[in-house]
Amino acid sequence: MGSSSKAGNKGGRKMKKEKEISDQTLTLRRRLHEALSLGIRQIENKGRRWRCTDAEIQSHSLRAISAFIKCMPSVPLQHSLIKESVPDMLLALGGILQSENESILCLAVDLTMELVCSLGKSICQYHVLDILMSLSCLLPTYKVSVVVSCATALNRILTNLGAMSYQYSEEVCEVIVKTNLVRSVICVMQGYGDGSQPVEYFSETACLLKTIIWRWPSFRYHVWSNSKLMDVLQGISARNDTLNTRRVLQLCSALALCGNGARKILENEELVSKIVGCTGTSHLDSVRLEALKLCQHLTRSAEVSSLLTDSYSEQIVQGIIGALGGWRSCSKIVPTDQIPLVMEAFRAALITRWAGNHHFFFWSNEIDRALLDNLIGNCSRSDQTRGMVLCDELIAKVYDNITNTRPFIWDILGWLAAYCEEDFVPKTTGKLCCLDVLIFCACAVAKDLMLKRRSSFSPDISEAEPVARAVLMLVTSPSRYIALKSKSWLFEMARPYGNDGLESFLLFLKLIAGGDVPLVSDNLQTAINLIGFACYSALPDFQKTIVKKKGLQMISDIIERCLKSDIHVSRSTIVSHLRSIPEEKTCCWNHVGDWEGGDVILFYCLQALSQLISFSMLECNQHEITSEEVVVSDADGLVEKLQFILHSNSSQGPKRYAAYILSFFGSFGTQSKLGQKMERALNENELADLQFVLSNGQSLRVHSVILWARCPDLLPKETSLKDEQESEQNPRTRQEVRMSDRVDYYSLIKILEYTYTGFLRLEEDHLKPLKILANCCRLKSLSLMLHRKLPTWGSSSPSCDFTKALEPTESSCFDIILEAEGSGGAWDCSICQLSRPHVHAHKIILWANCNYLQALFRSGMHESYSQIIKVPVGWIALTKLVNYFYSGKLLRIETDCTWKNMDKNQQLLQLQAYVELSSLAEFWLLEEVGDESLDIIFSCLEADQKISADIIHYAAKLSQWKIVEVGVSSIAHLYPKMRHAGDLEKLSEEVVEMLRTEYVRYSQKGS
């Protein structure tokens, strides 16, 4: 009994504890030790191993293990008795699990499961790789009981490993890969269907799969890309078996951590309808909880969220509202047992952050009442509601709510307000208008926390940001009703403090603007102060004071500091309630960010500035901002900074606000590279096929394809543009269009400028006629800017994009064909008879985008009249090129799960297209395409060296030496290996020599 005496020396207290172990336990431990020593051997280089295939000894050991496991509950898991016995038991079980004797095997599996279950979280202290390996190998077995115990044990081990080091996690992952565990689990799950197996057969394996894909993203692809399995999931969810329905929901939740997985789930209509149905009140709370969780995972980005809400808004909203307010029938406040469900419903209700028709259903299902009831208790049951006018009482009731739901309530209220229509009016029910009370509470709590904030650092700071932000969203709401109500209450509450309240914010701004305080010393405080300041900026009675006290200039200075510093602050890093899933657990989710984006400090500055800039006493010009002839801020720098934001990688929110503020300086829209190219087309006459004639005789030549893509209402109604194709020869017939006498030449030019380039500059005097014309042409994006409407929450800035013209429709007036290299097999075109791969396009777009083609069209050479241009690239490259011409963006490769699991040849085809584009860019003079292509290729080579050799080979063939060089340096260290494997044979001598030289350099550097 060396172990107990060793531990006994450590101290009196511990010794006492160890003595409490009963004699019977000690006996069992001794027997265990003796039994296991019959099979465990010290193997050279491998440490201790179980080496015994004798069935007698194996059974004997299992009996000893079984007896010991039974007494384990009476001993603390950290006791040395346990800690020293477990490794041997794991060793023995791991070995015996490889037995071919069925009865021994079954017993061993069950005992492993029992042992693992009784160890719980403490399993992470032991070496489990071997037992994981043995269990994983057993899973594809035929016996139901073995599968269930195996899956349970594996799941327990993997769940309880806790936070692993990167290396350990990789080692476990390797075991899973080596034993093909994921494939075995999927096979087992697919086999569950004929109804002969017990419920646990599916539930335990599904649970195991969920655990694996939660932790290791790389396995998700194999699950969601297996459509047979997805159908099985759908079938099981349709059976109304509570346990397995929950398992399906949990598994889908884990799958949805992968953006592609989420899309795949949403493609399966029957499955989605089941999932959504599970949020309904007819299901058990435990099922609803999982369904609501899954809904959160499926709505992580605006784009994917819309796939769900387009068809299921009403049901989801009803599910959420049902869970938010189900308790009201029996209680005044949320009962404790309902809190988990209510919390999940609140998380799911964060879907209000995206635009969509679910907003309509939230209102029609009385979300305002549900929010208020959760905030201050069931209103309809409470008689105190009549006395709501007493502010203090109301606030006290708000603070009585201790469910941690308040930050959610404020966020949801803010988003609801932000997405309201201009003429929105709440449904008033009875004497009590829930929305009014909510707005009132938000303003009051915001004021309260702001004042506290000044006196001391209160613990309520986590609520201060959400509530203040909600108030800012209320006062800037498009709904006149909400904006007016919240502004008047906010003003009422701010008035007693006079300018003192404002003063504290100004003081803070001054410190930041002057650089006396580091920009990011306390992001939360900075954000709260800026929101507070923005709220004051929205109140007309304070605007004058703010302007006088140089508030504009200070905000402008802070914006400059934000842009100069490279520090970004997203909202989820400063408020805690939004962090539900750690970012690193997800994969393949693009564009997840909020509308306000990764730099909220900048965003709140822009919000404040946009409130101030619309103040009627201000006059803006390119150089200064004046109020009553006093310069209150210089403008040169500000305009430059706003332009910078427009062209930066910022999110849409900051960009939209920057564009809004710039409209006060006469700039409307965004200047883009494509827009600048298209500006040349404005004055191009040769290819123009329409001529606008004004009533005073002035005329303008335009290109119908551009109008078709960007402003179709300017096109003459009855023209059939198809006719033009028939008159194939140049010069084209140019159709004349007479304009109404109300259209003036200048406004028409400006409209065309915006249509061609997505941008225009305008003096204030010309605003009015242009507004009218923009309305007539239904150019909504321009019209909103001209009317200087605050940007709608969630909207994206209008971009200069002509891809709409590529859709083959009645009015698409294609006048040129681009033909790719290669035969491409049987080719079928809906427009023409050509049997080779080709794209139909428009000369004017090519003319504007590419100097080479421009020269070709002008040259008068035979090719300039040809209807077909042969482009020396393959089909994939050609489609990418054409898309670039029309959208201004070269499509990139997303190195996501799909890409990583793609067949190597498919990957190669994609990458080769960029090599071809890089080559084409050289003699078609497409600098941007060349640079982008290189960038894309390099980033892929860096991520995956397997295809480097093939890309190098291809690039060398096309004389793309830059690619060859980078490729060579990325795989130089593999040179000896490649030579050995014969991989060098396909490369030319020149390239092999480069590789060799680079390898020499590499190894010298290494030594």
Q: What is the CA radius of gyration of the chain?
A: 35
Q: Which is nearer to Zn ion, 892 or 973 (CB)?
A: 892
Give the Cα separation of 469 and 350 in Å (integer): 15
Q: How many CA atoms lie within 13 A of 687 on its CB side?
A: 25
Q: Which amino acid is it at 773? A: L
Task: Name the segment binding Zn ion (CB under 5 A); options: 84-92, 205-213, 607-615, 834-842.
Answer: 834-842
Minimum Å gap between C-beta 83 and Zn ion is: 39
Binding residues for Zn ion, how many (CB under 5 A)?
8
Q: Indicate the helix (H) or strand (E) that contains 660.
A: helix 652-663
Q: Which is nearer to Zn ion, 519 or 587 (CB)?
A: 587
Task: Name the segment binding Zn ion (CB under 5 A); options: 154-162, 535-543, 892-900, 929-937.
Answer: 892-900
Contact call for residues 702 and 751 (beta carbons, < 8 A)? no
Q: Which two tokens stand for residue 299?
A: 């709505």
Contact call for residues 725 and 813 (beta carbons, < 8 A)? yes
Contact call for residues 432 and 388 (beta carbons, < 8 A)? yes
Which residue in the set 173, 587, 776, 925 belongs to the binding site for Zn ion (CB under 5 A)? 587
Minimum Å gap between C-beta 94 and Zn ion is: 33
Contact call for residues 93 and 111 (beta carbons, < 8 A)? yes
Q: Which is nearer to Zn ion, 68 or 219 (CB)?
A: 219
Does residue 832 interact with Zn ion by CB under 5 A?
yes
Minimum Å gap between C-beta 684 and Zn ion is: 25
**714: closest CA among 747, 675, 677?**
747
Q: Which amino acid is it at 212? A: I
**207: closest CA among 196, 192, 194?**
192
Minimum Å gap between C-beta 904 and Zn ion is: 19
Which residue in the set 391, 592, 829, 891 belongs to the binding site for Zn ion (CB under 5 A)? 829
Q: Which two tokens stand for residue 978?
A: 């490649």
Task: Name the segment binding Zn ion (CB under 5 A); options: 252-260, 492-500, 698-706, 921-929.
Answer: 252-260
Contact letters for Zn ion, residues 789-828 (x by CB under 5 A) = ----------------------------------------
Antiparallel, parallel or unpaired: β 816-819 and 838-841: antiparallel
Minimum Å gap between C-beta 246 and Zn ion is: 24
Q: Which is nearer to Zn ion, 258 or 762 (CB)?
A: 258
Q: Which is nearer to Zn ion, 225 or 887 (CB)?
A: 225
Q: List the strands of the sheet with 816-819, edge to edge.
A: 838-841, 816-819, 868-870
Minimum Å gap between C-beta 253 and Zn ion is: 14
Antiparallel, parallel or unpaired: β 868-870 and 816-819: parallel
Minimum Å gap between C-beta 914 and Zn ion is: 23
Other beta carbons within 10 angstroms of residue 579's beta carbon come to: 10
Does residue 902 interact with Zn ion by CB under 5 A?
no
Helices 242-255, 259-267: crossing angle, 10 deg rounding: 130
Give the Cα separation of 491 and 889 in Å (integer): 47
Q: Which is nearer to Zn ion, 648 or 895 (CB)?
A: 895
Q: Which is nearer to Zn ion, 312 or 589 (CB)?
A: 589
Q: Which is nearer to Zn ion, 189 or 588 (CB)?
A: 588
Minimum Å gap between C-beta 590 and Zn ion is: 11
Measure the CA dihedral 370/371/374/375, to 10°. Answer: -150
Contact call for residues 372 and 434 (beta carbons, < 8 A)? yes
Task: Name the segment binding Zn ion (CB under 5 A); options: 66-74, 498-506, 515-523, 580-588.
Answer: 580-588
**Cβ-count burial of 849 within 10 angstroms (0-12 exposed, 13-18 middle, 19+ buried)?**
buried
**748: closest CA among 761, 739, 758?**
739
Give the Cα separation of 460 and 439 in Å (integer): 19
Which residue in the set 1, 177, 567, 831 belongs to the binding site for Zn ion (CB under 5 A)? 831
Q: Which is nearer to Zn ion, 587 or 694 (CB)?
A: 587
**799: closest CA among 672, 653, 677, 712?**
672
Minimum Å gap between C-beta 900 and Zn ion is: 8
Contact letters for Zn ion, residues 554-573 (x by CB under 5 A) = --------------------
Task: Name the segment binding Zn ion (CB under 5 A); options: 296-304, 524-532, 568-576, 583-591.
Answer: 583-591
Contact call for residues 4 and 80 (beta carbons, < 8 A)? yes
Question: Residues in the chain, how many?
Answer: 1007
Q: Which two tokens stand for residue 938?
A: 């390099």
Minimum Å gap between C-beta 831 and Zn ion is: 4
Q: Which amino acid is it at 57? A: I
Cα dist from 327 to 320, 335, 340, 349, 370, whole Å: 13, 7, 12, 17, 11
Minimum Å gap between C-beta 308 and Zn ion is: 18
Minimum Å gap between C-beta 722 and Zn ion is: 15
Does residue 304 interact with Zn ion by CB under 5 A?
no
Residue 938 main-chain phi, psi, to 5 deg: -60, -40
Task: Name the segment binding Zn ion (CB under 5 A); options: 526-534, 585-593, 757-765, 808-816.
Answer: 585-593
Q: Which is nearer to Zn ion, 36 or 176 (CB)?
A: 176
Task: Name the segment binding Zn ion (CB under 5 A); options: 119-127, 256-264, 402-410, 989-997.
Answer: 256-264
Q: Which is nearer to Zn ion, 490 or 881 (CB)?
A: 881
Give the Cα separation of 151 and 191 in Å (integer): 15
Task: Name the segment binding Zn ion (CB under 5 A); options: 69-77, 236-244, 538-546, 587-595.
Answer: 587-595
Tell me which residues in 257-276 interact with Zn ion (CB under 5 A). Answer: 258
Contact letters for Zn ion, residues 588-607 (x by CB under 5 A) = x-------------------
Q: Indicate the helix (H) or strand (E) that contains 574.
A: helix 571-574
Minimum Å gap between C-beta 728 and Zn ion is: 15
Antiparallel, parallel or unpaired: β 690-693 and 735-738: parallel
Q: Which is nearer to Zn ion, 216 or 363 (CB)?
A: 216
Minimum Å gap between C-beta 165 and Zn ion is: 23
Minimum Å gap between C-beta 829 and Zn ion is: 3
Task: Name the segment binding Zn ion (CB under 5 A); options: 158-166, 336-344, 763-771, 891-899.
Answer: 891-899
Residue 50 CA to its chain's centroid (Å):
49
Minimum Å gap between C-beta 257 and Zn ion is: 8
DSSP H helices, 423-522, are 434-455, 461-475, 480-494, 498-513
Task: Name the segment binding Zn ion (CB under 5 A); options: 155-163, 579-587, 615-623, 880-888.
Answer: 579-587
Q: Which is nearer to Zn ion, 132 or 897 (CB)?
A: 897
Which residue in the set 334, 897, 941, 987 belongs to the binding site for Zn ion (CB under 5 A)? 897
Which residue ranges make up the site for Zn ion (CB under 5 A)? 258, 587-588, 829, 831-832, 834, 897
